[in-house]
Structure 1
Amino acid sequence: MSAKLLLIDDSEEIQALVGLFLEKEGYQVVRARNGKEGLRKLAHEKPDLILLDIMMPEVDGWETCRQVREISNIPIIMLTAKGQERDIVRGLEMGADDYVTKPFDLTELRARIRALLRRATEMSPEDSRPKLFDDGYLRVDLERRLVTIEGKAVDLTPTEYRLLAALVQQAGRVIPHRQLLKQVWGPEYGDEVHYLKLYVRYLRQKLEKDPSHPYYILTEWGVGYRFRDFPDRE
C-alpha cells in the first residue's frame, strides 16, 4: 500500500504542483490549507509523513510542528523560503526532520521523502538510533566505541567521539548547531558555534580523504551539519 502524505501549505500553486507530482509518484496526498486544518487531518487521515509550510494564516508552521510533536513522531519535512536560515533552525529545533527550500527540485523532494519514510519504517521501538556505520572505508561502531578507516583504528579525543556519535546516530538528518552544542558540550554552550566548527574541522582532518571537500560530515550553511546517510539508504 502506498504511503500517505499530508501536504500543509496555503499556496494553491504548491498544492497543485507538489500534490500532482507526488500522486504521479504513487503517493496518496492529503491536502490542508493551514496548520489548523492540517492538525485536524493528521488526526483523521493518519498520514505517514507531513510536508509543512512555515508562513501560513491562523496556525503557522512552527506552531503546527510543535503541536504535532506533542502527539506524534511522524516524519516532518519543512517547506521554507530560500535563505531563511533562522526559520530552518527554529523548525528543526521544534522537531522537524528535514527541510527543502523554495523553489525546490521536485526530484530532490522525492528523495528526501523516500529517505525519511525508509528511516521511519526501519526504526526499532527499543532503540531507534543506529549503532554501526560501515561503508567499507569508514567504520563507526558505537557499541564498541571503535572508529576505523580501512581497518585501522582512528584516535579520537572524548569530545571528538561524542560529536561523531551524535552525528552518526542521526545520519542523513540535518542537526542544528545549537542542538549539537547542547548534546555534546552541554546546555550552557548553545551559542558557542566556534567550538562546533573547530571540532568538525578536527574530525574532518581525521576521517575525510579530502577534508576541504568533505564526504561524510556535510555543512548545511547557516543551519548545522548532516552526516552522510547509511550506504543502504542512499
Structure 2
Amino acid sequence: MTSADRILVVDDEVQIRRALRTNLVVRGYDVIEASTGAQAVLAVTEDRPDLVLLDLGLPDLDGIDVLYGIRGLSTVPVIVLTVRDREQDKVEALDAGADDYVTKPFGMNELLARLRAQLRRATVADGADGPRVVATAAFSIDLVEGRARLGDGSTVHLTPKEWAIVELLARNPGRLVTQRQVLHHVWGEHYDTETHYLRGFMAQIRQKLEPDPVRPAFFVTEPGIGYRLEGVVDGPDEHSVPNADRDTGQDASRETGQDTGEVGP
C-alpha cells in the first residue's frame, strides 16, 4: 500500500462510514464517502478511487445497478459490504462485477486483508502485461506456453477444458470466479446451470495439481458460488480474458466431458 491509495466508502449508514473512515485513515489511506448510488458513480468518475467499498442497500439505487454503473466506467476493484447473505445475492453481485463480497457484520481485520489483496492485484493488473508464469508452492502455470508444471519441473497433461478452467483462475488469482463465469468461458454463453460439469473437472484438476486433492489448498471452492486460485506467489493481469478455444498443446484425448472485530448494522 502507498499513502496515495484512495478508498471510496459507499454506505447510507453514518456509523458504518465513520468506522470505516477511522480504520482506513489511521492506516494511511485517503477516504472518500458517498451515501447514495448516484454519489458513488459520480465519485468514481471524478475522484478516481483505487478501490470501492459498496453497500447494496442504498436509498436511491439498488447496489447491483450501481455496480453495473461503475463497471461501465471503470475496472476499479469493488468489495461489496452488505447484510444480504443469500447465495443468490452473492452470485448476482459477483456476476455484476464485484471483486469480493463481505457480509455484515464483518471483522475489520478480515476486511482490511481483503482490501489489501485487491489493491495488490490491481497494481499487478496496471503493469505492462503481468508475469507469464503464475506460481504456487506446489505447481506453476505458464500462460504463454499453455502448460502446467509441478514443483519438480515435470509437465502435467491437462485436457483443453481443464486447461481453460485453470487458465481462467490463474488470470484471476485470489479472486472469486463464479460458476456461471466459468461455464460461459469454457462451454459458452448458453451454459448456466450445468454445475455438475464443474465438479467433475475440478476434481480432475485437483488430482493432477494439488498435493492433497481431498483437502485442496490452491483450487478452493466457495460452495454454491464458484472457485478461487489461492496461494499464488505472483499474480498476472486478472482483467485479461484468455481464449479458451485455442490449441494449448495439451492431451485432448483424455477429455471426458463430465469426469469425476465486527462492524455492521
Q: Compute the TM-score of the two structures, normalised by the length of structure 2.
A: 0.82
The counterpart of 2:78, out of the listed 49, 54, 76, is: 76
Q: Please say if 1:19 is aligned against 2:21.
A: yes
Deviations 1:54-79 (A, max 9, x none): 11111121111101111111111111
Partners of 2:73 and 2:81 in 1: CA distance: 21
Give matches, 1:42-191, under 5 Å: 42-81=44-83, 83-124=85-126, 127=129, 131-150=132-151, 151-191=153-193
Query: Does the 8 Å contact 1:80/1:87 carry over to 2?
Result: no
1:142–1:42 Cα change, 3 Å: closer
The counterpart of 1:203, out of the listed 202, 205, 214, is: 205
| C-alpha displacement of 1:126 | 5.9
What is the RMSD of the two structures over their aligned residues, measured on CA atoms? 1.7
Query: Does the 8 Å contact 2:137/2:231 carry over to 1?
Result: no
The counterpart of 2:12, out of the listed 10, 25, 31, is: 10
Deviations 1:101-145 (A, max 9, x none): 2121111111111111122122247646x5311234201112111
Query: Does the 8 Å contact 2:138/2:209 carry over to 1?
Result: no
Amino acid across the alignment from 1:194: H
Runs of 4+ that moved beyond 4 A: 124-128
Amino acid across the alignment from 2:116: R
Amino acid across the alignment from 1:157: T
The counterpart of 2:229, out of the listed 201, 204, 227, is: 227
Q: Compute the TM-score of the two structures, normalised by the length of structure 1.
A: 0.92
SS, match of residue 25 in structure 2: helix
Query: Does the 8 Å contact 2:102/2:111 carry over to 1?
Result: yes
Larger helix share, 1 or 2 = 1
Partner of 2:31: 29
Specify which structure has the bigger relative contact order, considering alpha-carbon pairs within 8 angstroms and separated by 6 or more residues.
2
1:124–1:44 Cα change, 3 Å: closer
The counterpart of 2:218, out of the listed 207, 212, 216, is: 216
| C-alpha displacement of 1:212 | 1.8
Consecutive unaligned residues of structure 2, counting only runs of 5 or more, are 236-265
The count of corresponding residues between Structure 1 and Structure 2 is 232
Partner of 2:244: none
Amino acid across the alignment from 1:30: I
**Percent of paired sites with the same residue:** 38
Q: Please say if 1:193 is aligned against 2:219.
A: no
